[in-house]
């Protein structure tokens, strides 16, 4: 498996609290992505990064922000969590932009009460 870890793996929080999910990679891949997975919706892109301090919005970016200050770390922040953000979040990395294999992390299950 590619060297990619997500933390925390499980989190329960309350509506209105901030939450940060961390993705850490040891592959030195330039491209990193955050997806959320919900039943019936597949994998939907939240934000992605093409390098340090180079990020862009995906199809479901409202309510989320990201930061990438180092190649190896990509942080996803929910500024004020809502119940609709209860989901499984996957980080993915790639060495090619959008036409190469995505290596996924193990996922972070977030429950917002």
Partner 1 sequence: GENVEQHPSTLSVQEGDSAVIKCTYSDSASNYFPWYKQELGKRPQLIIDIRSNVGEKKDQRIAVTLNKTAKHFSLHITETQPEDSAVYFCAASTGGRRALTFGSGTRLQVQP
The residue assigned the tokens 């409202």 is 62
Residue 80 C-beta: closest distance to partner 1, Å: 25
Q: Check: CB of residue 14 under 8 Å from CB of residue 110.
A: no
Shortest reach from residue 13's CB to partner 1, in Å = 22
- Residue 14 or 38 with smaller CB distance to partner 1: 38
CA distance 9 to 96: 26
Residue 11 or 109: the one with the smaller Cβ distance to partner 1 is 109
Could you list the residues that contact partner 1 (CB under 8 A)?
33, 35, 40-45, 48, 50, 56, 58-59, 90, 97-99, 101-102, 104-107
CA distance 64 to 102: 21
Nearer to partner 1, 50 or 67 (CB): 50
- Which uninterrupted H or E stretch holds 87? strand 87-94
CB of 106 to partner 1, least distance (A): 6
**Which of 18/97 has CB closer to partner 1?**
97
Query: Among candidates 106, 82, 104, 86, which has minimal Cα distance to 31?
Result: 104
């Amino acid at each position: 498996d590619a060297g990619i870890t997500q933390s925390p793996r499980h989190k329960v929080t309350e509506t209105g609290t901030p939450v940060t999910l961390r993705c850490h990679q040891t592959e030195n891949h330039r491209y990193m992505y955050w997806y959320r997975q919900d039943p019936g919706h597949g994998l939907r892109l939240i934000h992605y990064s093409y390098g340090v301090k180079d990020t862009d919005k995906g199809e479901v970016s409202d309510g989320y922000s990201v930061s990438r200050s180092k190649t190896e770390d990509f942080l996803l922040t929910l500024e004020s969590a809502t119940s609709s953000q209860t989901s499984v979040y996957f980080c993915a990395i790639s060495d090619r932009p959008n036409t190469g294999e995505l290596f996924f992390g193990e996922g972070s299950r977030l429950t917002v009460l």
